[in-house]
Amino acid sequence: MPDVDAIIPGDPCILVIFGASGDLTRRLLLPALYHLACDGLLSSKFAIVGMAMDAWTTDEFRERMTVQVRQFTTRVPFNEAVWADFVGRLHYVPGKFNEPEAFARLGTVVGGLDVELACGGNVLFYMATPPSVFGMVSSALHAAGFTKLGAGWKRVIVEKPFGHDLASAMELNREMLKYWREDQIFRIDHYLGKETVQNLMAFRFSNGMFEPLWNRNYIDHIQFTVGESVGVEGRGGYYETSGVLRDMIQNHMFQMLAYLCMEPPVSFAADAVRNEKAKLLDAVRIMSREEIDENAVRGQYGPGRGPDGATLPGYRQEASVSPTSSTETFAAIKLNIDNWRWEGVPVYLRSGKRLWKRGTEIVVQFKRAPDVLFRNTAASSIDHNRLIFHMQPDQGIELRFHAKVPGTAMRLQNVNMRFAYGDAFQASRAIGYEVLVYNCMIGDATLFSRTDLVEGAWRIAQPLLDRWSTATPSEFPNYEAGSWGPKRAFDLLERDGRRWVEIINRDVLEKVPLFAGSDPAFQNSLLMTLEPDVYELGDYIFREGDSAEEMFFIARGEVEVIGPDGKVVKTLGGGDFFGETGLLTSRPRNASIRALAQTDVFVLKRSDFKKVLTQHPEFADSVERIAKERYKLILAASLVPVAGKAAP
């Protein structure tokens, strides 16, 4: 990575995008390149040549990208001046990847631009194509003489998935290495472009405080969760051949695992970092068939309901998915790392589609302090300290520890300290591809996978793929769309006396009309005030007539809403919320809520809500308006401070 935070544009080069008419190009790649242009990080000697089968002209390509980049950029407002220059650098060559004439035409265009812009012969090839044609494109480039062009560097970015299993990844590596040297190949994993993922290294190695504790002596276990609320989003055909193990765990999650658990590298030089990552993956225990049955859980979503009550189709009902599909859309795995640092510290990973919320989090749970001092006090138990990395959509780091509850007795409460990226830094939201493409342009391969890393990751996944391909799961589908995932994923930890740490994030607040669309800083402040609480089966959370002091978010479980006539009006489950008028008014409750199962809820108290509004008076207006429009409530002056002025 560049070691100074200055605007140093990438090397002069021609970027050739294979698959320029595809989804990746329009949604992520071109917008990211435009962001680099906005930040002055593209050389003035730079051009893009797109290639795909569509018979477009350069003008048509420019017109389409003008529409699509505007649609997918995360930068507001759109910078017309930058775009006017950028769009003039776009070129298009139609052609099929198995047509030598197309590559001859490409050679002419690239050669012409190289001379015109004085790029010094530097060419970056980006394979934004289905993986099945990576080899075909490489061999066509070779046949057309691109790999041997004299002056300047030639680099190739290869998209994921890199291989379908260990054997095909090894074969693809062999094929690529026939035409390119290892230092020319940049295998992309877009998670490594995320600031929060890169921050794992910064956090670990720039803070003297935690690294001494980063081992089996102090850490009880580690959890990785990558939850997605979306389904397969029209990609059923691809997903049928993939499943969550290949799509998320083998690549994105193992990359994060490597960053979190590797030994300190001797420097940030690409190979120093990648050596340590490779060593870590090598130390992950390869599971036997029996261990897989014991330590890995897979799931597939069935029909369910979204938080808004809308019906969600099951995976088998998605387009291009077999009605008897055994593809897993969820997996939870317990891994062991057989090295000196981590021996005996389990690492639990879980990922799934159509879960109740989107959220990527890493929880490092420390060993408990001895409770000897607190045994005869009002402190009921000592909990674990936890360090939580919020990767997305919230970006931040949270430390959970105990504090004494004010009062005469020795009572403890879990409290947290939280750093939110958005509060500390004022950076525009990046797509993640910016840093990856830029690093490739400057020849820094730190954030890209090497042959051994890719193969190491497949080596861990392969026994699971083998086992799951032979044993068809009779219980599929085994979790409802919009739920927490299969129960067995919870049993996996409960068996070890542990539980998943559930994190509530901004997505949940987005579903509450009162908070939807509000500023992330406002939402983050709200999230930090949420208090967890648990109700047993049959408990009343509140009864009709009770004074309303708070609202509730259901993390897990089920409740019924009982009307004044004693009849059940509806039931609510994970992801639902209730009692929101309790934030706005102290009017007594007009219904009762009773738990139908053990139900974990997050509580937002009116007093805390008021504090947050006091810190963010600029949101008072919109809260007041929504209260009026949706709930027909005029808010008490004591709750809503005057906009723009902090309440006393």
Tell me which of 1, 43, 54, 117 binds ligand NDP, using CB under 6 A: 54
Examine residue 133 and tell whether it contacts ligand NDP (CB under 6 A): yes
Nearer to ligand NDP among residue 96 and residue 459 (C-beta): 96
Nearer to ligand NDP among residue 168 and residue 336 (C-beta): 168
Q: Is 354 left (phi over 0), alpha (psi -120 to 50) or beta?
A: left
Q: Which residues fall within 8 angstroms of residue 363, CB to CB, at 6 or more apart?
A: 222, 223, 225, 386, 387, 388, 389, 501, 503
Nearer to ligand BG6 among residue 359 and residue 574 (C-beta): 359
Choose from ligand NDP, ligand BG6, none: what does 395 bind? Cβ within 5-8 Å by kind. none
Choose from ligand BG6, ligand NDP, none: what does 23 bind? Cβ within 5-8 Å by kind. ligand NDP
Stretch (H or E) spanning 641: none
Site for ligand NDP in 89-118 (CB under 6 A): 96-97
Examine residue 361 and tell whether it contacts ligand BG6 (CB under 6 A): no
Q: Could you give the CA distance from residue 67 to residue 61 in angstroms, rounded to a whole number?
A: 10
Nearer to ligand BG6 among residue 23 and residue 494 (C-beta): 23
Nearer to ligand BG6 among residue 247 and residue 328 (C-beta): 247
Residue 378, classed as helix, strand or coil, is coil
Strand partners, 125: 16, 156
The one-character DSSP state at 337 is B
Residue 246, classed as helix, strand or coil, is helix
Examine residue 580 and tell whether it contacts ligand BG6 (CB under 6 A): no
390 is catalytic: no
Q: How many CB atoms lie within 10 A of CB 293?
A: 12
Tell me which of 9, 10, 22, 582 binds ligand NDP, using CB under 6 A: 22
Choose from ligand BG6, ligand NDP, none: what does 130 bind? Cβ within 5-8 Å by kind. ligand NDP
Choose from ligand NDP, ligand BG6, none: what does 39 bind? Cβ within 5-8 Å by kind. none
Site for ligand BG6 in 203-262 (CB under 6 A): 228, 247
Tell me which of 120, 131, 422, 463 binds ligand NDP, using CB under 6 A: 131
Q: Greatest CA separation found in the chain?
A: 85
Nearer to ligand BG6 among residue 226 and residue 635 (C-beta): 226
CB of 51 to ligand NDP, least distance (A): 7
Tell me which of 23, 60, 182, 343 binds ligand NDP, using CB under 6 A: 23
Q: Is 237 left (phi over 0), alpha (psi -120 to 50) or beta?
A: alpha
Residue 500's nearest CA partner among 392, 325, 629, 349 is 349
CB of 22 to ligand NDP, least distance (A): 2
CB of 329 to ligand NDP, least distance (A): 17
The active-site residue out of 91, 252, 384, 390 is 252
CB of 312 to ligand BG6, least distance (A): 16
> Residue 383 in contact with residue 403, Cβ under 8 Å?
no
Q: Could you give the CA distance from residue 240 to residue 325 in angstroms, rounded to a whole number?
A: 8
Q: Could you give the CA distance from residue 522 to residue 528 in angstroms, rounded to a whole number?
A: 10
Choose from ligand BG6, ligand NDP, none: what does 52 bind? Cβ within 5-8 Å by kind. ligand NDP
Choose from ligand NDP, ligand BG6, none: what does 247 bind? Cβ within 5-8 Å by kind. ligand BG6
Q: Could you give the CA distance from residue 421 to residue 396 in angstroms, rounded to a whole number?
A: 5
The strand ranges marked E within 367-425 are 386-392, 396-404, 412-420
Instruction: For residue 432, report the phi and psi dihedrals to the nearest 5 degrees.
Output: 110, -30
**Which positions touch ligand NDP (CB under 6 A)?**
19-24, 27-28, 52-54, 96-97, 128-131, 133, 159-161, 190
The residues assigned a catalytic role are 252
